[in-house]
Structure 1
Amino acid sequence: METAQRWLDHPEPTTPALVRHGLRTLLKKGHPGALALLGFAPASVDVDGPHLADTQVPWGGEVRFTAVLRNSGPEPARLAIDYVMHHRKANGNLSTKVFKLTTRDLPSGEELVINRAHSFRSITTRRYYPGGHAVALQVNGIATAPVPFELLPTDGAPGS
């Protein structure tokens, strides 16, 4: 954090991108200092969602969700918006993975509509297990309550 601050005090043209990249793990974890360093202060934002299109997702399908963010504060808000997937592991526990959605400046009184789909097709870097999963939004490091859904088993799927 100290190094990043020092670099931002006397930036070169490539410094902001380098600092954002270096702080990406802290940003995904919602670290207040890292967020503040990049201009994401606590904001008065009302989050309606996420709302799921369906609570049962077929194997290889996708979970679709929407949300509406409204700036209820008197000032414009700079927002770092992510979504958090709570994936079911082989032992039945949940493991979280944060995915970047967008960064936006939201004027006072304005709304932002989020529409997203997260795929559960087979990939080589992650193994999916049928059963309960969940999704949440994270705005400037503050997560909403997870919304549960079920990944349906199919023949050949682990755990089915």
Structure 2
Amino acid sequence: MATPQKGTGFSLKDQLFNVDRVSYLASCFHAADARFDAAGFVAETMKDLKKLELKERIVHIASTLERYLAADYKVAAKQIAAALPPPLDPTKRDNDFGDFIFAPLGEYVVRNGLEKRHLKLSLKTIKAITQRFSMEDAIRAFINTHPSETLRTLEKWSTDGNYHVRRLVSEGTRPRLPWSGRLSIDTTTAIPLLNTLHADPTRYVTRSVSNHLNDIAKTHPDLVLETLKQWQQLSQQDATELQWMCKHALRTLVKQGDRKALALLGFSPSPKITVTDFAIHTPQVRPGDAIEFTFEITGRKNESLLIDYVIDFVKANGSTSPKVHKIKQLRIKKGETVSLKKRHVLRDAATTYSLYPGIHHVTLQINGGSFGTQSFDLQ
């Protein structure tokens, strides 16, 4: 999927949901059942589509589809299953999210099949759709409405032969899934499911597991650390992959300088190093300019180092908000000196912060500890 660039006129909603994609969806239903009014469905859908935002388009297509499928949900679910194209390529191992045009099918299932009498059929339908487009948003409605029954089904799916189904188990139960509503179940409920999924051979699944743990770490850091230690002891996952998973799962804690997280990743919380000549060479800057700073690190013993820097951005009310940025990870030898230089552009239209004038501070953060602070004046 293309990444939108500022000023290019790129529209994600128009790329994902347009007349061509709607026509394709209609053709899938018409190919499965010639009685499906493809032309009518496309015309009615497109009448109001362009004025809607992305998620509104998903709901709109689903609601329009209700007037073109059978009124009996059991029959409509069979129509959906029959209209699905072949599953996504099972030989791929990552980044195969699927075709967004099938997202409205999940919305349709939620809107029409959430009653308990439809639960078994709805979950079966979601399982089929997720092999064409990830159903992590749709499954959350069933977790919230029928937690026990849905979690039992997800437990079975955690060992399913299709990796898209297995990923759904982790992604659908994430406590802080982007663009989705919160779950009513406890944040830690899915840990037993992750215990199974952590040994998965597919990066698409293990990335989801790691993101899931990163969500949990924001409220239960010690539980995440203990879980990762247990996985290391079990040795069920390839050691290199598990190390990657640990790093990805602990990224928020690492940014916070959590000493336990850094220790689990092999970084000493008290590295034997000396930092010298830390200096900012741009004491006065304006929005759009870059700050530049240099420093040297000398190893007093062999050390693995995770080098970050923290900028305390001035806020509108005069207080400051710290933002952690990466520099690099390196292995330094005893007696070795490494010279480092960093250039950071202060973007005037950043999406994660706003720039305000005042004295800003830059702190070197190495293995979670502070190793000096320098300042610059944003004018």
TM-score bracket relative to the smaller structure: 0.7 to 0.9
Residue 125 of structure 1 and its aligned partner are, at CA, apart by 2.7
Q: 1:54 aligns with which of 242, 262, 282?
A: 282
- Take 1:137 and 1:49, find their aligned partners in 2: how far apart are those partners? 12
Q: Which has more strand, going by share of residues?
A: 1
Q: Which has more helix, going by share of residues?
A: 2
User: How many percent of aligned residue pairs carry the same amino acid?
Assistant: 35
Q: 2:297 aligns with which of 52, 59, 69?
A: 69
Match for residue 78 of structure 1?
304
Check conservation: 1:63, 1:119, Cα contact below 8 A.
yes
Q: Does 1:132 align with 2:359?
A: yes
- Take 2:305 and 2:315, find their aligned partners in 1: how far apart are those partners? 31
The one-letter code matched in structure 2 to 1:126 is Y
Q: 1:4 aligns with which of 217, 222, 228?
A: 228
Match for residue 105 of structure 1?
331
Check conservation: 1:60, 1:119, Cα contact below 8 A.
yes
Check conservation: 1:50, 1:135, Cα contact below 8 A.
no
The one-letter code matched in structure 2 to 1:17 is W
The one-letter code matched in structure 2 to 1:113 is S
- Take 1:2 and 1:141, find their aligned partners in 2: how far apart are those partners? 19
Check conservation: 1:50, 1:136, Cα contact below 8 A.
no
Q: Unpaired runs of 5+ in structure 2? A: 1-224
The one-letter code matched in structure 2 to 1:105 is R
Q: 1:34 aligns with which of 261, 278, 300?
A: 261
The one-letter code matched in structure 1 to 2:296 is V
> What does 1:84-95 align with in structure 2 at a 5 Å threshold?
84-95=310-321
Q: Does 1:117 align with 2:343?
A: yes
Residue 117 of structure 1 and its aligned partner are, at CA, apart by 0.9
Deviations 1:96-120 (CA, angstroms, capped at 9, x unpaired): 1111111111000001111001111
RMSD of aligned Cα (Å): 1.3
Match for residue 109 of structure 2?
none
TM-score normalized with structure 1 length = 0.88
- Take 2:373 and 2:329, find their aligned partners in 1: how far apart are those partners? 21
Deviations 1:61-97 (CA, angstroms, capped at 9, x unpaired): 011000101112xx31011110111110001111111
The one-letter code matched in structure 2 to 1:8 is Q
- Take 1:20 and 1:98, find their aligned partners in 2: how far apart are those partners? 16
Secondary structure at the aligned position of 1:79 is classed as strand
User: How many aligned positions are there?
Assistant: 150
**Higher RCO, 1 vs 2 (CA within 8 Å, ≥6 residues apart):** 1
Residue 49 of structure 1 and its aligned partner are, at CA, apart by 4.4
